[in-house]
Amino acid sequence: MPAPEHWPSVYRDRPEIFAAFARAEDPQGRIVARLAELANLEGTTALELGCGTGRYTTELAQRCARYLATDPSPALLELAKRDGAAPWLLRTRAERLPLKDHCVDRVLATWVLAYLRPGDRAAALAEAARVLRPGGSMWLVENHWDGEFQELRDRAGYGAEPGVKALIEAGGFRVAARIESELRFDSNEEAAAILGALCGETVAEKLRRAPRRSFGHEVVILQRAAGP
Ligand SMILES: C[S@@+](CC[C@H](N)C(=O)[O-])C[C@H]1O[C@@H](n2cnc3c(N)ncnc32)[C@H](O)[C@@H]1O
């Protein structure tokens, strides 16, 4: 059983910690480049769910004709605003979107859908299907179930990522790509502080015993067509 993690309380009370984690992710920029390429964003109207600090918002928005980035966390949206994403932001949960039916071509979300409670995930997927135009599509970035970051957190194995498993087996998503990404912090101390705060004391203790600042992080891009 993986040790408890603290992501939601960090979003609320220590958003800078999550911002530092987001900055460490994928120094080569592989994830956003591949997502934009596969989702074929040029000229589309796109909706981003759970944009957090907006780490991908500006880059994705610039490829689209129209873009809206949403998140329920005031603290994370404040950081997104500070980093230049203000023109695209709206505070809302993915389960209740204040949008008309069939008004977007793409729904995008990075590390959001797998971590919602099952009922909220189902509601968010139904909302995404409602707002997508026929012929549109939904694209997610989620953790792959293998790799050094998963091992560090004791979450390696398909069954240890139940949300990702549910999206693939019951949510109708296919794996469109697997990407070998990296988490790279500026120092061992920063890695221990940020990952300890997010992933809990077991991870902090592992990093005290064997300090390091770089971790392989495998991710998947999941895709499903418009429709319930
Ligand atoms: C792991 S973070 C990912 C943030 C961002 N997509 C990124 O890649 O950095 C999860 C995000 O989901 C947001 N979130 C939590 N519950 C949500 C919900 N019910 N609807 C939409 N977003 C939600 C959080 O506020 C947080 O920004």
CA of 32: how far to CAs of 110, 170, 222, in Å?
A: 10, 26, 13
- pTM for this predicted structure: 0.97
Residue-level pLDDT at 227: 66
Distance 170 CA to ligand 1 centre (A): 21
> Does 156 contact ligand 1 (Cβ within 6 A)?
no
- The finding on whether 199 has its CB within 6 A of some atom of ligand 1 is no
- Helices in 55-155 by DSSP H: which ranges? 57-61, 74-80, 118-131, 148-152
CB neighbourhood size of 84 (10 A): 11
Determine the distance separating the centroid of ligand 1 and the alpha carbon of 73, expressed in angstroms. 8
Best residue among 25, 55, 71 to mutate for probing ligand 1, ranked by most atoms within 8 Å of CB: 71
- For ligand 1, the distance from its centroid to the CA atom of residue 8, given in whole angstroms, is 9
Tens of pLDDT along the chain (228 residues)?
677 899 999 999 999 999 999 999 999 999 999 999 999 999 999 999 999 999 999 999 999 999 999 999 999 999 999 999 999 999 999 999 999 999 999 999 999 999 999 999 999 999 999 999 999 999 999 999 999 999 999 999 999 999 999 999 999 999 999 999 999 999 999 999 999 999 999 999 999 999 999 999 999 999 999 865
| CATH of the domain spanning 7-225, picked from 3.40.50.150, 3.40.50.720, 3.30.1360.20, 3.90.1150.10 | 3.40.50.150
Ligand 1 midpoint to CA 116 (Å): 9
| Ligand 1 in reach of 95 Cβ (< 6 A) | yes
